[in-house]
């Protein structure tokens, strides 16, 4: 145990890892002390597993900064339920990992400590906002990662980095200790090198939690699933997802995956989710509105850093938030405040809420015909750093195939589907609400089939 933890510490301190800029906080002695304690404890389901925790999930051993100057050095007085359950299962929190500030971004370029680099091509982004833990898992520095998924922020970086990213059903994993971005959309998810590891971590952290009012009283999936035959599975392919300016290479890779599933006997049929094109604008209206409310607490009085002399309250608020928040967070707060303001709430927020309901209805109707929906995870492989910073709409478009899942509260998982020009791409499997266990069962079979077919070359 101690030898494995020492090896993990060496990897975290290696120059290649430092070059990623994926770690926000790490202490060798904390990691080794945890390993020593495990040597005298009964074995658990995750004993010795090293995990990178995204820096918007509260921990006691390390600061929780959310990648923001406004929370620089902040230490939470409590620990997230997901982290406590990880430790109880025997896992080791190896480090805190970089992210887009407060989870607002798709590239991990909006962090106060600078961007995280892609583990294969440092000139590209690892995706976001969970790009830090995704890069560390993909590089083999840690064995798993905890991220947050508000509009695809676990699945999108997983696809970019060539690993597995799982977003549980809303309410199936406690949000207690996850710093809120958009409360009705946020979900703690898992980044892992395989479906099996992702499932084991989800089994350990899932289940009801009295500290979280949105937690649902349902058991988590078991650590070990059931074998299923693809011939028993009905898969739906939404035509709208193939019409959203897909990169030709991504299209070929996902079409190849569908071909493999058909060859294994799966019943694959076209379906329609007609409100899909409205998912991205609805998501950004709703998430920005909730962000403007949730981030009001970071004002220099209750949390984090304080700017100004404290004598002029309005000036203190203005300077604390103006200097503490980065440009993307300020953009979303302003947008959210606008769409909730008098005279505009009905025009924007209420219409977005109506679209959300229609998107959920689309999925409910389709799930009467099929068991799972299969889509590309991202419309392209990882893009170059800086390429979309000046164009928020282009940046937001990288999430357009994943954000509908959050609006409907569904479970989804991204699995590596091969490479395009040397860069990983992913295929996304979407399930019915709380069909997380069945999703992992099918994802395992799909992962094995793709590996046998050589789709990871």
H/E element, 438: helix 436-452
Burial code (b: 16+ CB inside 10 Å, e: under 16) for 349-386 equals bebbeebbeebbebbeebbeebbbbbbbbbbbbbbebe
Calpha distance 61→93 (Å, rounded):
9
Residue 87 among the catalytic residues: no
The interaxial angle of helices 327-339 and 279-294, nearest 10 deg, is 100
Angle at CA of residue 179, ends 358 and 35, nearest 5°? 125
Q: State the pairing for strand pair 267-271/372-376.
A: unpaired
- The structure tokens listed for 251 are 């299209």
Q: Is 167 a catalytic residue?
A: no
Residue 160: name the closest of 89, 106, 230 by CA. Answer: 106
Q: Where are the alpha helices (DSSP H) in 240-383?
A: 248-263, 279-294, 313-324, 327-339, 350-366
Cβ-based neighbours of 61, under 8 Å, separated by 6 or more: 27, 30, 93
Among the listed residues 68, 84, 111, 129, the single catalytic one is 129
Distances (CA, A) of 75 to 33, 34, 58, 109, 332: 20, 19, 8, 23, 25
**Cis amide leading into 129 (omega within 30):** yes
- Strand pairing class (423-430; 412-420): antiparallel
Give pairs for 344-352: CB < 8 Å, separation 24+.
348/285, 349/285, 349/286, 349/289, 351/285, 352/281, 352/282, 352/285, 352/286, 352/289
Q: What's the DSSP call for residue 352?
A: H
Annotation says 129 is catalytic: yes
C-alpha span between 20 and 43 (Å, rounded)? 33
Strand partners, 430: 373, 412
* Cβ neighbourhood burial of 73 (10 Å; 0-12, 13-18, 19+): exposed
Q: Which residues are catalytic?
A: 54, 129, 153
């Amino acid at each position: 145990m101690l030898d494995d933890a020492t090896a993990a510490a060496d990897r975290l301190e290696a120059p290649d890892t430092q070059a990623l800029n994926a770690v926000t906080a790490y202490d060798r002695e904390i990691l080794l002390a945890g390993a020593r304690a495990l040597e005298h404890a009964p074995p658990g389901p995750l004993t010795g597993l090293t995990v990178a925790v995204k820096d918007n999930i509260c921990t006691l051993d390390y600061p929780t900064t959310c990648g923001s100057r406004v929370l620089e050095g902040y230490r939470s007085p409590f620990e997230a339920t997901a982290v406590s359950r990880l430790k109880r299962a025997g896992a080791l929190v190896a480090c805190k990992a970089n992210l887009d500030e407060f989870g607002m971004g798709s590239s991990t370029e909006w962090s106060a400590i600078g961007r995280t680099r892609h583990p294969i091509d440092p000139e590209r982004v690892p995706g976001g906002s969970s790009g830090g833990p995704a890069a560390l898992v993909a590089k083999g520095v840690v064995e798993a990662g905890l991220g947050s998924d508000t509009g695809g922020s676990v699945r999108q970086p997983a696809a970019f980095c060539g690993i597995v990213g799982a977003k549980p059903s809303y309410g199936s994993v406690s949000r207690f200790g996850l710093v809120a971005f958009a409360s009705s959309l946020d979900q703690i998810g898992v980044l892992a090198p395989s479906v099996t590891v992702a499932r084991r971590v989800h089994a350990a952290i899932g289940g009801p939690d009295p500290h979280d009012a949105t937690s649902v009283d349902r058991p988590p999936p078991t650590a070990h699933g059931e074998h299923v035959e693809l011939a028993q599975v009905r898969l739906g392919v939404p035509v709208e997802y193939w019409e959203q300016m897909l990169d030709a290479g991504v299209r070929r890779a996902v079409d190849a995956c569908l071909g493999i599933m058909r060859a294994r006997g799966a019943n694959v049929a076209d379906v329609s989710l007609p409100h899909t094109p409205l998912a991205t604008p609805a998501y950004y209206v709703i998430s920005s509105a909730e962000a403007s409310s949730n981030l009001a607490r970071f004002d220099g009085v209750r949390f984090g850093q304080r700017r100004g002399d404290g004598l002029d309250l309005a000036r203190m608020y203005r300077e604390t938030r103006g200097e503490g928040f980065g440009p993307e967070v300020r953009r979303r707060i302003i947008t959210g405040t606008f769409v909730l303001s008098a005279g505009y709430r009905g025009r924007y927020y209420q219409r977005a809420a109506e679209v959300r309901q229609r998107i959920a209805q689309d999925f409910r109707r389709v799930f009467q015909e099929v068991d799972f929906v299969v889509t590309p995870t991202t419309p392209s492989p990882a893009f170059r750093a800086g390429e979309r910073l000046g164009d928020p709409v282009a940046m937001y478009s990288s999430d357009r195939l994943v954000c509908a899942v959050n609006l409907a509260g569904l479970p989804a998982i991204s699995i590596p589907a091969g490479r395009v020009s040397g860069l990983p791409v992913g295929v996304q499997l979407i399930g019915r609400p709380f069909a997380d266990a069945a999703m992992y069962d099918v994802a395992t079979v799909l992962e094995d089939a793709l590996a046998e077919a050589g789709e990871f070359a």
